[in-house]
């Protein structure tokens, strides 16, 4: 027979139940107890709607909005970085070398980056821009542009 739960653990589980932001099985995993233990604690506390999905639905909706805002911020950073890299292609550029038998550092200031550095800047800018565009497609409002998970969430949340 398993040992009884400590009062602290029972209180922590009850706090999670009352918060209503987690499913029963998630609470059980978080506290390393069985789902039936979580159900019993809710029943003993006379919480009848402990696992009402409407609260979970609200939490999932809020998380989806937060995730979208985070993706938008990252996307903006990619776009800003792409523009910064493109700007660097037309700016003065320091080329350097470390070499010779004494590993001497030498540098030279050029009006523009050399061809190899221009190519690297262009590839990096294009990659950043592509990542920005991929995020825009991911979060587009039309159904065809939604990822499978977002489509599923939208269907589950009735939106």
Which tens digits make up the pLDDT trace of 24-46? 899 999 999 999 999 899 888 88
DSSP 76: H
What element of type H or E holds 10? helix 7-19
23 plus 60 within the same structural domain? no
Tens-place pLDDT, residues 60-100: 888 889 999 999 999 999 999 999 999 999 999 999 999 98
Nearest-5° Cα angle at 137, 134 to 141:
155
64 plus 117 within the same structural domain? yes
Tens-place pLDDT, residues 97-135: 999 899 999 999 999 999 999 999 999 999 999 999 999
Q: How far is CA 89 from the centre of its chain?
A: 31
Residue 151 lies in a domain: yes
Mean pLDDT of 146-153: 69
CA-nearest of 62, 80, 77, 71 to 136 is 71
40 plus 114 within the same structural domain? no
117 plus 141 within the same structural domain? yes
Determine the structural domain holding residue 26 and report its residue range.
7-44
Residue 2 lies in a domain: no
Number of domains in the chain: 2
121 plus 76 within the same structural domain? yes
CA distance 21 to 56: 5
Using 50, 70 and 90 to split pLDDT, how confident is the model at 139? confident
88 plus 143 within the same structural domain? yes
pLDDT at 23: 84
CB 7 within 8 Å of CB 18 = no
138 plus 65 within the same structural domain? yes
92 plus 134 within the same structural domain? yes
148 plus 79 within the same structural domain? yes
- Beta pairing, strands 93-99 & 104-110: antiparallel
What element of type H or E holds 24? helix 24-31
Using 50, 70 and 90 to split pLDDT, how confident is the model at 146? low
pLDDT at 158 over 90: no
């Amino acid at each position: 027979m398993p040992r009884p739960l400590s009062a602290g653990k029972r209180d922590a589980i009850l706090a999670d139940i009352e918060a209503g932001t987690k499913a029963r099985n998630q609470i059980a995993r978080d506290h390393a107890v069985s789902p039936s233990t979580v159900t019993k604690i809710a029943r003993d506390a006379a919480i009848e709607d402990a696992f009402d999905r409407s609260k979970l639905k609200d939490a999932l909706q809020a998380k989806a909005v937060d995730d979208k805002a985070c993706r938008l911020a990252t996307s903006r950073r990619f776009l800003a970085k792409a523009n910064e890299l493109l700007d660097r292609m037309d700016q003065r550029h320091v080329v350097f070398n470390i070499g010779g038998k004494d590993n001497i550092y030498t540098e030279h200031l050029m009006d523009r980056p050399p061809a190899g550095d221009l190519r690297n800047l262009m590839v990096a800018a294009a990659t950043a821009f592509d990542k920005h565009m991929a995020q825009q497609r991911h979060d587009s409002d039309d159904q065809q542009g939604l990822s499978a998970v977002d489509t599923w969430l939208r269907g589950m949340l009735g939106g």
